[in-house]
Amino acid sequence: MDAFYASVELLRYPELRGRPVVVGGRRAHQPVPRGDGTHEFSILRDYAGRGVATTSTYEARALGVYSAMGLMKAAALAPEAVLLPADFDQYRHYSRAFKRAVAAIAPHIEDRGIDEIYIDLTDVVEEGASDNAAGDDADEDPRARVEALARRIKAAVHEATGLTCSIGVTPNKLLSKLCSEFGKPDGLTILDHADVPARIWPLPARRVNGIGPKAAARLEALGVRTIGDLAAYDRLRLVDEFGANYAEWLHDAAHGRDERPVVTHSEPKSISRETTFERNLHPRQDRDELGAILTRLCEQLASDLERKSYYAKSVGVKLRFDDFKIVTRVVSPPAPVREARDIRLWAGRALKKAPLERRLRLLGVRADRLTRESTPQAPGTRGDEAQLRLEI
């Protein structure tokens, strides 16, 4: 989806179209209705406090404001930009709507978060082909068929949500992810393996999903800037720098090779809640306040577990200190837990294992190693199946 959160906000406040708009900041103010149908909006310059831009409209991006940028920095770049608080219920609603619209056409979908999916079009394209075989003036060009299908999906998404999306149709997820960035907003790119040298290799290596800031910097140090540089780079030297596994993946990725299937179902591995404080808190001086925050996080986590029907075999805490260093500690209760009181107890024990000298800016609680069962499951046993032991 194109600038998803910001675009949803523009549906609600059409008068903001064409203006730089930033979504984010926990203390951002709700727009105030004026009575004539318009609203009084807060602007970025007036924001004070912690927080980052969750997303921004293309007009704000033109001014240099991107996702994850601190709002104070964003305000320096775009002081007149409108600032809106995030409304995740609203975004989830539109997320479900666009996914439903796609699923009606192509049901083989992998969820990649609130605003992104992979679609396996193989069967849909083939069905279309056999349908067409009967027709007389049917379009026989496979590429034209694929394009028509992609346009049908874009139209369905727009019909259901009023929002635009960008689609990349390619032989695999890696290439589709790259191509979905082309022509945004409202892009459509169809690409085959043969197009990789011309259209993929000129791109910066950083654009590959899985090459982040660290890997990109190390590649840069090797003189590797583009995906084409990476494709041409000596494999063994890549192994020296990154280890066998990552090196092989880098090499395959640079050649547009990716065999990962579209995964239509997956179980969560962990559920967590965390919060950054308005001011840094000291483990001893602010002990009571921290304890209250931890309790609240545990209550939220317990309600998440209950709603989703999971128990946690491990409970962990996450601390971010004033120097931004992160420490995590995990404990495993004798039996899986779900109740807020239990989570609070074990989170407290995990916390005791952590170093507590510096001030904290963030505290988090995590339910780890999730299970549907409330009773401990010994390794190698399943339910109440009879156990068989054989010795020779």
Return residues touching DNA (CB under 7 A): 26, 48-52, 54, 67-68, 70, 72-73, 112-116, 177, 208-216, 243, 245-246, 266, 268-276, 279, 304, 313-314, 316, 324-332, 350, 353, 361-362, 364, 366, 368-369, 379
Count Cα neighbours of 217 within 13 Å in the Cβ-side half-sphere: 3
Of 132 and 272, nearer to DNA (C-beta) is 272
Distances (CA, A) of 32 to 29, 41, 42, 253, 338: 9, 7, 9, 49, 40
Of 70 and 187, nearer to DNA (C-beta) is 70
Q: How far is the CB of 307 from DNA (least distance, A)?
A: 11
**Measuring CA to CA, which residue among 71, 39, 42, 41 is closest to residue 54?**
71
Burial (CB < 10 A; 0-12, 13-18, 19+), residue 118, is buried
Nearest-angstrom CA–CA distance, 314 and 330: 7
DSSP-assigned letters across all residues of 54-109: EEE-HHHHHTT--TT-BHHHHHHH-TTSEEE---HHHHHHHHHHHHHHHHHH---E
Which of 110, 116, 181, 220 is labelled catalytic?
116
**Measuring CA to CA, which residue among 214, 213, 222, 217 is closest to residue 241?**
222
**Measuring CA to CA, which residue among 146, 183, 177 is closest to residue 164?**
183
Q: Is residue 116 annotated as part of the catalytic site, yes or no?
A: yes
Q: How far is the CB of 353 from DNA (least distance, A)?
A: 5
Q: How far is the CB of 140 from DNA (least distance, A)?
A: 35
Cβ neighbours, 10 Å, residue 370: 19
Of 329 and 358, nearer to DNA (C-beta) is 329
Of 125 and 222, nearer to DNA (C-beta) is 222
Cα 342 versus chain centre, distance: 30
Nearest-angstrom CA–CA distance, 329 and 315: 9
Q: How far is the CB of 319 from DNA (least distance, A)?
A: 9
Cα 76 versus chain centre, distance: 27
Q: How far is the CB of 247 from DNA (least distance, A)?
A: 10
Q: How far is the CB of 26 from DNA (least distance, A)?
A: 6
Query: What is the enclosing helix (H) or strand (E) of 28?
Result: none
Of 32 and 263, nearer to DNA (C-beta) is 263
Nearest-angstrom CA–CA distance, 151 and 198: 24
Of 96 and 143, nearer to DNA (C-beta) is 96
Catalytic residues: 116
